[in-house]
Amino acid sequence: MSATYSAEVCAVARALIGAVVRHGETAGVIVETEAYHESEPACHAHTGRTPRTLTLFGLPGRAYVYRSYGVHAMLNAVAEPEGVGAGVLIRALEPCDGVELMQARRGRERLEELCSGPGKLTQALGIVLAHNGCDLSDGPVTISPRAGRGPEIVASRRIGITRAVDLPWRFSVRNSRFVSRGGVALDRSLSRVAR
């Protein structure tokens, strides 16, 4: 089975907490991620290779960017060896560089409203569909690994999906005020899932 691979993409999702996403002069620290793997039906790669999911099956460390609800760009990091469809969705950042530009792009002032959601952070950083397939160690969009041990991480259920809803594959910094959707429901889903 693919349990080994699933564990791997989740390990990457955890490891990316505390890493820095950068595009141009804007950057933020990752505080929330979700893991997706071809073995479970919530993952775009579950139906196999298609034009849309091709990058998910490609080299790890590349960006998989797709359009959600016809409106928002979503940023993922491909997270398994070539040939295995899996990625980590970047769901929220703590803004660190280029805050004024992010505020202008978002039309909001409060730091908590700049990157507290997968569609918000791509808008704040100016990440678009054309970045699909770019090398995240090279740019123009980059993710720099964190040094050291990192913050305390909470696992919970993924958000906004209709299938495989019970997998506890969402990871976030405990008590961070920069995550998407408040922390109360998060704690409840955790107790129900991870018991």
Residues that bind DNA (CB under 7 A): 34, 36, 42-45, 47, 50-53, 56, 64, 66-72, 74, 76, 87, 89, 106, 108, 113, 117-120, 129, 158-162, 180
Least Cβ distance, residue 132 to DNA (angstroms)? 8
Q: Which is nearer to DNA, 39 or 76 (CB)?
A: 76
Q: Which is nearer to DNA, 47 or 137 (CB)?
A: 47
Q: Which is nearer to DNA, 68 or 175 (CB)?
A: 68
Least Cα distance to 155 among 195, 105, 97, 116 occurs for 195
Least Cβ distance, residue 44 to DNA (angstroms)? 4
Least Cβ distance, residue 20 to DNA (angstroms)? 19
Least Cβ distance, residue 181 to DNA (angstroms)? 7
Least Cβ distance, residue 73 to DNA (angstroms)? 10
* Cα 176 from Cα 49, distance rounded (Å): 36
Contact between 81 and 8 under an 8 Å Cβ cutoff? The reply is no
Tokens read off for 54:
């091709």
Q: Which is nearer to DNA, 18 or 117 (CB)?
A: 117
Q: How many CB atoms lie within 10 A of CB 148?
A: 5
Q: Which is nearer to DNA, 113 or 147 (CB)?
A: 113
